[in-house]
Amino acid sequence: MAKVSVVIPTYNRGRRLLRAIASVLYQSYNNFEVIVVDDGSTDNTRELINSFFKNHIIYIKHKQNRGVSAARNTGIRASKAPFIAFLDSDDYWFSEKLQLQMDFFAENPMAVACQGDEIWIRNGRQVNPGKRHIKPNGDIFKASLRLCLVSPSAVMIKKSLFDEIGLFDETLPACEDYDLWLRISCRYPIHLIKKSLVVKEGGHKDQLSTQYRSMDLFRIKSIVRLLRSNCLNVQQITLAMDELAYKCQIYSKGCIKRGRKDEGNFYRTLYGRLKKELNLPEGSAL
């Protein structure tokens, strides 16, 4: 039985998908299964897979486009291995990626998740991440409230963890990974292997980050849901409330500036209303 299930969600990225699959098949570690979840593609994805990789992967196709969260969740449910590694169809791995992560779990059996560093390519050119994107190691909850610091293509997770925290939130059209990492990092460390294991490409028109004006709207929803879940300790509640206040202030100002006064007022007052709902005292978050 495979030790790792590699889940690759894809939508109308046939050519780039072939490179992603090839980077998995060339891994030095070979005890894995590959699950490609075609999220309702209308291009020639199926034909390309049948031509090159038909006998090497498990291919599942959604009848219609349901979003990347649904595609990843389909892959998780179909997986048979105790570890899951995700790979976005426009990214690709270095050949030692799986081996290094499996070695890490062998040496750290209590760990539930680890990721590696990555090389960024934007519009065909390598770029260096800014300081705020440098990945932390261990207790990353505080840093992860501001922005997403875990890359799906770089992470490996114990499948059993999803039984505890749930799957990707299919109601979020974007920032679904931000939401998942918060649910994990408030409970467990997310470890970093300080070596580039992934080439992550960006700048494509079909990327979710280019389709929405403000990603903070979805981050706000994630923080609110986390605060209502009763899974945070006192310090984490303070951190989450502080970040919520910061994001609501920025987002509400943007709404009012663009003529969406009612929406702006809703998010301007959200912090105070949530504070009362959670019975937090006046002044600081606690």
pLDDT value at position 133?
A: 86
Number of H helices, E strands in the chain: 11, 9
Ordered mean pLDDT values, 10 residues apiece, the chain (286 residues): 96 92 96 96 92 90 95 97 97 97 98 96 85 90 94 97 96 94 97 96 62 81 95 95 95 93 94 91 53
pLDDT 10s digits, 244-275: 999 999 999 999 999 999 999 999 999 999 99
pLDDT value at position 259?
A: 92
Mean pLDDT score across all residues of the chain: 92
pTM of the model: 0.91
CA 286 to chain centre: 30
CA 106 to chain centre: 24
- The CA distances from residue 165 to 42, 132, 159, 182, 186, in Å, are 33, 26, 11, 10, 10
The torsion of the CA quartet 1, 17, 175, 99, rounded to 10 degrees, works out to 40
pLDDT value at position 285?
A: 45
Alpha-carbon gap, residue 51 to 278, rounded angstroms: 56
pLDDT value at position 209?
A: 54
pLDDT value at position 286?
A: 41
The torsion of the CA quartet 243, 247, 249, 251, rounded to 10 degrees, works out to -170
CATH of domain 4-210: 3.90.550.10
pLDDT value at position 132?
A: 86
Per-domain residue ranges of the chain? 4-210, 216-277
pLDDT value at position 210?
A: 52
pLDDT value at position 130?
A: 79
**Angle, CA of 168, 136 and 203, to the nearest 5°:** 60
Q: Are 237 and 142 in contact (CB under 8 A)?
A: no
Q: Are 200 and 153 in contact (CB under 8 A)?
A: yes
Alpha-carbon gap, residue 252 to 270, rounded angstroms: 10
Q: Are 194 and 104 in contact (CB under 8 A)?
A: no
pLDDT value at position 183?
A: 97
